[in-house]
Structure 1
């Protein structure tokens, strides 16, 4: 049983049902029912045309549900019972489904869940496990999202920036539960890159690959957080780095710079350095200067730029740049602590590391910052 093939077929099959007149929510439910049947039937009786089989099975599920609803309401529902003969059409609706699931009316969490369900082909249980919430809670979230976009035409132009933002949200969830969301986001972004030649899609894919290449070195024994400068670079995946750099170079050659390409360029410079000391911080600062206007002068980008300035021009210059960043920006105290330590002010650095630990949003980050405070106090 090729489960990856099933997941790849999901958006195309949903698209076929919607074009035949099914609403999105009913189509998505019918396809999930068809997938359950496929998992039960295919191992013993594999179909010659998996897509056509799924379309037929899902259409019958939809018709059965429509008939049941018609009986309940005491009226007829005008649907054609049998699907057209022959193989399923080759029209690819995946890109349209990306845009539909990333509808601007949806909250980010709902858009992510719907994308994983309708485009990624994950079950509600898998998505709930990944986000560490009860399955019933995730089912309600997905149902509300489907109701919210019910009636939206499948061919309505979508906002690519929203789609990319949703995919990046999925990627940043990393690994939790029994689903590797980082790997799933890369799979979906590869799929999107095959459907459109937009440079920013390639930029996002390159960014994901370059970050994912360092994954094995980010944590130590017991889940201990390992910062970039202390990571074992022999654990980095050189094949992923090479692929990410090649994709990025092709995107940059289009001369349509976007924020994901700029972020990927920064990640590539980190990946290219064999030692922390050989990192080209001057060029990284230059890329942050490119990224700032592309990100709408993001405070987070300004904070990261200040740290890069501290590496390129010295900690005092970094602190001067950091003084222009709102102190309420996440990880501001941690960045200030690092720069003060580099400047030789151990007492202030220890205070700031302790303050950053109190503001940490995860246990590994809190523990890491607490250790940093203790290390600076007692070298």
Structure 2
């Protein structure tokens, strides 16, 4: 569910950015035109500029934290559309009803923008906004259509026919978009589920169902580069002899149980992956440097405390890197690997910190 929401946000956020940019540019163009070619209404001189400013503020607000603010920005966008377009339309239609002016002469050339914005919202933004969009469209279109229907002298003009065909057929277009949007959304959701399933299969080790290297890399990419990490490399001791004595099928069973035990050893934020063969990697997030030795011992005891079915006791050598930032992950893996090498060279079934390995074996620092 979380991944589904993340994928939807990846689509929704850029779509909202584009919608805001289009609205800002259109409002700026209207501002320039209405000030160069002035109209009798002072509203035309500043309203498009205010709309551009409001959407620019929304753009900046979204830019600071898009994932958390996307819903608020969408709601605000809809509110601005309702509060600016509807009063504007009602103002000119009511004035025309009261014979203060001819609607076709005074209504600003914004009908195309209203239609475009409404269509884009329905196609690009969540289905839950449909009722809101339909309400906005109805409050814009119905007064215009009623006025034209009851004022044939205005209808039977080039601008009157233009408004009639803009607001009339567009209403049917919106009605057609609703089921289309639902079917597209349903189809996209199905595609998203299939992609998630394929991604999970591609990111996980087929035997042990923990991350593979690709999956761990994807997990790491979701962390901030300055996130504090420590790496544990865990290598099963004498695993080759297990395969030689009991067969590869039994060896596979050992790997599955081994991975299962690793999952239960540590319940704080971490990433677990099969690094290759009988070697596993655990990436601890935001660890305390003083606690790494005890964390390593917890993994070691969890691995070896109980015998394995048909095999007996299995042990592992564990190497632990120094605490560093996520952007230095490769260097941490190299440190943990050197610590594992030291553990295996000095008796196996033990936890070795990289700093201890360096202190006891100076030659390692030259590798």
Q: TM-score, normalised by structure 1?
A: 0.23
Q: TM-score, normalised by structure 2?
A: 0.24
Which protein has greater RCO, CA pairs closer than 8 Å, 6+ apart? 2
Q: Write 1 or 2 for the structure with the bigger share of strand.
A: 2
